[in-house]
Amino acid sequence: MIPKILVVDDDTAFCVMLKTFLQKKGFEAFNAFTAREAEEALRSQTFDVVLTDIRLPDSDGLDVLRTAKESSMETQVILMTGYTDIKTAVNAMKQGAFDYVGKPINPDEILHTIGMALQKRPGGKPTETKKTSANQKTLPFVKGISGDAMRLQEHIDLVAPTNMSVLIIGDSGTGKEHIAHSIHSQSKRAAHPYIAVDCGAIPKELASSEFFGHLKGSFTGAINDKTGHFEAANGGTLFLDEVGNLSYEVQVQLLRALQERKIKPVGSNNEITVDIRVVAATNEDLAEAVKRGDFREDLYHRLNEFCIKVPRLAERKQDIMVFANHFLAQANDDLEKDIEGFDDEVTSLFKNYGWPGNLREMKNIIKRSVLLERSEIIHIDVLPHEMLEASKTEGSLSGYSKSNEEEAIRHALEKANYNKSKAAILLDIDRKTLYNKLKLYNIEL
């Protein structure tokens, strides 16, 4: 039988989108936008899995959980939550929820979690929702044409066939997970699982269970056996996203598992040998975190057998329109439109904008523009107002945060042999703006 899934969320657009996504993946999916609608649906029919947001306008996910369990103890409930609701999610697991996933939802993660939940039902069969192979298109990787893009691809090609651990360093939104997936898809492990883990969404209280799994009854709320990320990735690749967010205690557990390649589920006396390749990513300076004592040096070196540094989008001007056209094609496909391209004014703006949100920001802006545009070409009037304002007032420095803007100015001055006029040209700002910045950061020449 086709598994039936109920999606409960008061964000109508997101709820419908997730339902459509699940239907495309072969599930029978239904929507409810309030707790009352969810309760009515649960009383009228039986669902295999319920995906519910914790915060609902007329109640919360805990009430949906209780109703689901009252209707059928076999129904598995997965909570969708933001970081601020993690404690509530943990409490929900103690009350019988199967698991929780963090927002924004990662498609691979939600499919994997649903697959694991379905295994817990009578007659449930293992699913391979998060196994990805080289010929699958879940995470397309665009190479680019710039020198930076060529070097990046060369590093991926070099390290992918090996079993070396890889540390990917780059700002948020630069495409670190796409690079990790590209490494996996070009490796000898491509036919085996690729498991992506958001380290920032794992509270330390549940870290052992999340990474290594647990046995039924091993702690309060453990009503089922749970397969951890290490075992789920056996034979394939484990991607640790934002690894710098792990607490020090969890780092110790992770290091031991990576050193011994053996894990012990919570409540079990038996060790399980795992064969995994680890790819980690961070937007933090882990070397500095090691100096501060926030990140273990031995774990840092264990993860950093090979380092890939990903440049910001604003530093890859030759690649900007390559990515823009790629995201345009994606948006056309998603929204069933046929926009042909960008007018010259938009192209110029894209090339000179700072892109503080990098590829993620570009993808969102282009999708929004495709939705709003009524002609065959994207025009500047459908772009976000804040993007136009930033471009007018800040020049190329709009791509820098306050924490690294000063560094960019000092670098430009050094490159220009401390000629302020030349430095202003390099930064694409006028001399007056540069003088104001020098005064702001107390830079004396």
pLDDT tens-place string over residues 389-439: 766 554 455 555 555 678 778 888 887 788 887 787 777 676 777 887 888
87-93 long-range contacts, Cβ below 8 Å, gap at least 24? 87/203, 88/54, 88/60, 88/61, 88/62, 89/54, 90/203, 90/205, 90/206, 91/62, 92/54, 92/61, 92/62, 92/65, 93/206, 93/221
Which pLDDT belongs to residue 131? 37
| pLDDT band at residue 366 using 50, 70 and 90 as cut-offs | very high
Assign 354 a pLDDT band (cuts: 50, 70, 90).
confident
Q: Which residue has the higher pLDDT, 377 or 200?
A: 377
State which of 108-112, 206-210, 378-382, 425-429 shows the largest mean pLDDT. 378-382
Q: Would you tell me how many other CB atoms lie within 10 Å of the CB of residue 62?
A: 20
Assessment of whether the complete model's pTM goes beyond 0.75: no
Do the bridges between strand 272-273 and strand 306-309 make them parallel or antiparallel, or are there none, so unpaired?
unpaired
b or e along 130-156 (b: 16 or more beta carbons within 10 Å of the residue's beta carbon)?
A: bbbeeeeeebebbebebebbeebeebb
DSSP line for 56-95:
-SSSBHHHHHHHHHHH-TT-EEEEEE-GGGHHHHHHHHHT
Burial 399-424 (b: 16+ CB within 10 A, else e): bbeeeebbebbeebbeebeeeeeebb
Structural domains of the chain ordered from first start: 4-119 (3.40.50.2300), 147-309 (3.40.50.300), 313-396 (1.10.8.60), 400-440 (1.10.10)
pLDDT of 121: 62
Model confidence pLDDT, tens digit, residues 63-80:
898 888 888 878 899 988
Task: Determine the pLDDT at residue 86.
Answer: 61
pLDDT digits (tens, 9 = 90+) for 164-188: 999 999 998 899 999 999 999 999 9
Output the CA–CA distances (angstroms, integers) from residue 191 to 83, 132, 228, 377, 399, in the order listed. 33, 7, 20, 40, 39
Report residue 63 as tokens: 């009430």
Residue 137: predicted pLDDT = 36
pLDDT in the model for residue 440: 79
